Amino acid sequence: MRLKNRLQGWIQTPPDESSNQEGVRTRPEEPVSASNPSFTDGIATKDIRVDPSTALSVRIFLPESALLPSERPQPKSKAEESSLKSENNGDQGYTPSGQNCRKLPIMLQFHGGGWVSGSNDSVANDSFCQRIAKLCDAIVVAVGYRLAPESKYPAAFEDGLKVLNWLGKQSNNSTGDEPWLVAHADPSRCVLLGVSCGANIADYVARRTVELGKELDPVKVVAQILMYPFFLANEPTQSEIRLANTYFYDKAICLLAWQLFLPKDEFSLEHPAANPLAPNRGPPLKLMPPTLTVVAEHDWMRDQGVAYSEELRKVNVPAPLLDYKDTVHEFATLEMLLKTPQAEACAEDICIWVK
């Protein structure tokens, strides 16, 4: 109810755009997790501002498996870890040796939040990305894209592609300025992972990589994962008819979010940002990368994700579907649900497929 009231308030009195010229990527009322550039529980994290002119940033999750056995830190007591955190202060911590560094695949992750909330450094997203980085043995780069209504469509989509181009530069010793990625990232093995509305961003970025082709070298998107995508269409599905007014993130709240994200003159459930199967949306589906789709039984948008997965399979794109029973939208990424059996199984299933 608080979320619904907030969205309705923004529609009636939009935020002052002139005071947010850079855009915003987080909300003050949402708790965030501090980065820790020294390995704790097997993961080191670091925040980077990608575009100085906007709020676009990333959080890098580097698993300890990227280090050679001789470089891996020895177990420390809690007191030592606490002291190390205070000393590091966000810009020290692990520094690659530059010799025999292990290269890991990259997972470019886009958080959920209905375009208007959530962040790449929220407590829930931080925990989820750490879990994925460990299980997949991959570097997770979580994108802090600009939020609506301060930054409307296509800002979040453009931010996703901008980070992908930035990753390409980081893999080159002469152009990269982020040592973790220069030393450890293999951009030829890049997987896109989108959560809720982040899945819409991931799908857009995947389409653009198809269109751009070798222009993105050395980055190669080899697969994408769409977790309970925020897909809509004019034609109501069975899950929409049955679940529109039940459970959280109901249809009314989602439509409010879309009204805040899309410019007034572009609002439509058939907008390319909302419907991946909208007519005349390119490129052809048969050119899309292998796509894993995760859906939840009690999500009113479930059937739209299922339909997209089916259309990909019809044109011979490897597109498995994971359908979890007794689950709601964001069941594997909400902080309160991260320790449920379904959330843990989902993360493991994703990583089995990715590997």
Question: For residue range 165-214, what is the model confidence (pLDDT) as tens digits?
Answer: 999 999 777 788 899 999 999 999 999 999 999 999 999 999 999 999 99
121, 159, 299, 303: the catalytic one is 299
- Active site includes 82? no
- Active site includes 329? yes
Q: Is the pLDDT higher at 304 or at 96?
A: 304
Q: What is the pLDDT of residue 336?
A: 93
**Nearest to residue 119, comparing CAs of 51, 36, 24?**
24
Cβ burial of 116 (10 Å; 0-12, 13-18, 19+) is buried
- Active site includes 196? yes
Would you say how long the chain is, in residues?
355
Q: Are 198 and 91 in contact (CB under 8 A)?
A: no
How far apart CA 290 and CA 324 sit, in angstroms, is 20
For 5, the token pair is 């009231």
Tell me which residue has tokens 């955190």: 85
Q: What is the pLDDT of residue 282?
A: 86
Does residue 78 lie in a domain region?
Answer: no
Q: What is the pLDDT of residues 125-143, one digit of tens each?
A: 999 999 999 999 999 999 9
Number of domains composing the chain: 1
119, 151, 196, 239: the catalytic one is 196
Q: Which contiguous run of DSSP H or E holds residue 63?
A: strand 57-63
Does residue 83 lie in a domain region?
Answer: no
Does residue 91 lie in a domain region?
Answer: no
Backbone phi, psi, residue 258, to 5°: -65, -35
How far apart CA 127 and CA 58 sit, in angstroms, is 15
The structure's pTM equals: 0.93
Does residue 8 lie in a domain region?
Answer: no
Q: What is the pLDDT of residue 86?
A: 44
3-class SS shares of the chain: helix, strand, coil, % to 5:
40, 15, 45
Does residue 199 lie in a domain region?
Answer: yes
CATH number of the CATH domain containing 169:
3.40.50.1820
Q: What is the pLDDT of residue 89?
A: 43
Mean pLDDT of the 37-55 span: 94
Does residue 16 lie in a domain region?
Answer: no
Domain limits for position 344: 35-66+104-354
How far apart CA 48 and CA 221 sit, in angstroms, is 22
111, 271, 298, 329: the catalytic one is 329
Q: What is the pLDDT of residues 210-259, one digit of tens each?
A: 999 999 999 999 999 999 999 999 999 999 999 999 877 899 999 999 99
